[in-house]
Amino acid sequence: MSQEKYTIRMRLSAWFGLAALVFGAFCGGAMASGAYATSYFARYGGGHMLIFILIFMTIMAVCCILGINVIRAYKVTDYNGFYLALYGLHRDGSSPGLRKIVTLFFDFYTILSGIAACAGAMALFGALANSTTGMPVQAGSLIAAFVFAILSVYGSAFLRKFNTVMTLALTGSLLAVLAAVCAMRGDVLIGLLGDFKTGVDWSGASLATGYTMLISYCFNVGSWGATLSSYSEKIRDQKDAVGSGIMIAIFVSALFFVTSCIVLPYLPEQLNSTPILNICQNYLGSTLTLIYWIVIFIAVITTGPTFAFSIAARFIKLWKNSAIDRKLKVFVIALAFMIVCYFVSLMGLMKIVQILLTSTGAIGAFSIFIPLLVSIFRIHKLNLAERSGSPD
């Protein structure tokens, strides 16, 4: 494809595809359930909610721009390649010992992050299955494990399209729920937005604890570049990295804002892991509740396969037996990963969100975010070397 044929429409399509993927993979069902709103954003009232979302959006934009630029500059296609490039160990002559240490550390970190996200999705799937059919939560979560593994077989192109459809459907349903909430408690919502006093004592934890947890969670987004490395083949230049990073931040932050606004007028009564579902069931009509159920089921289903495929894209390279079909390898790796996630899902969605995601974010602040900042100078030097014709 020539540069002349790379149109604005193509750019926006690539940016939107990644933004939709991030939305579905990292936010998906847990975001749509309102669990993030009650865990991080709205739990201290409307004034602090706006500050929290602004902090999140800023950190997310920076991390995604820098992460995607690393992918573009070093042409990495899996998370191991991403972290080796991030630490400057991508060259053939790099220290084998250091490469091994970085590989093992980020294998552990990526699997832990994926477990947190997928286990949360399974816990939510189980809760939704229980609320609609009476099925035991554990049985619903086990069904989710097999569904996630099967869908991961279809690869990155399918998952991008799946996440795009889900993003549009979920956005529409959440806006419909928000409209219904505004019609019912719009005056309460308006009164709370910008209010820094009401709500400070809702959660029972100090405001300093809330900011610390929020910032720790935010640094999870430093690892998003590693997962996006399996899906970013359409990124061509730094303009794409900046544009897609900003679009990702705007998409996800806007939806966190919407879910927080839905939940805010019903706090502190709805400080739980599925507040929006409870609001629909207890305050809104049956039609809207049914629509929300359907869409959130789709949202939950997008999270697991996206992470499982990313894990499989890494470990399938270690499975050298060419006699076994690639799709079967992906399924086996994904299923093994999902079985681990199933046992973690038994913790429950709220504990997964508040404990696992905060912990992985704290680790990522030092091991990923700081190297991402350093990558600015390394990639600038690489760009200069490429323009002058010198090797990296």
Dump pLDDT digits (tens) for 207-259. Answer: 999 999 999 989 988 888 888 887 788 888 889 999 999 999 998 898 899 99
Confidence at residue 98, expressed as pLDDT on a 0 to 100 scale: 94
**Each residue's pLDDT tens digit in the chain (392 positions)?**
444 577 788 888 889 888 877 876 655 677 778 888 998 999 999 999 999 999 999 999 999 999 999 999 999 888 889 999 999 998 888 899 999 999 999 988 878 888 888 888 888 888 878 877 888 989 988 998 888 888 888 766 666 677 677 777 777 888 899 999 999 999 999 999 989 999 999 988 899 999 999 999 899 888 888 888 877 888 888 899 999 999 999 988 988 999 999 999 999 999 887 898 889 888 988 888 888 877 777 777 777 787 778 788 778 877 877 778 878 888 898 889 999 999 998 888 788 887 888 888 899 999 999 999 999 999 988 888 777 765 55
Judge whether 109 and 20 are in contact, CB under 8 Å: no
The number of CA neighbours under 13 Å toward the Cβ of 371 is 20
Beta-carbon contacts of 179 under 8 Å, excluding residues fewer than 6 positions away, are none
Confidence at residue 2, expressed as pLDDT on a 0 to 100 scale: 45
Question: What average pLDDT does the chain have?
Answer: 86
Confidence at residue 26, expressed as pLDDT on a 0 to 100 scale: 58
The structure's pTM equals 0.81
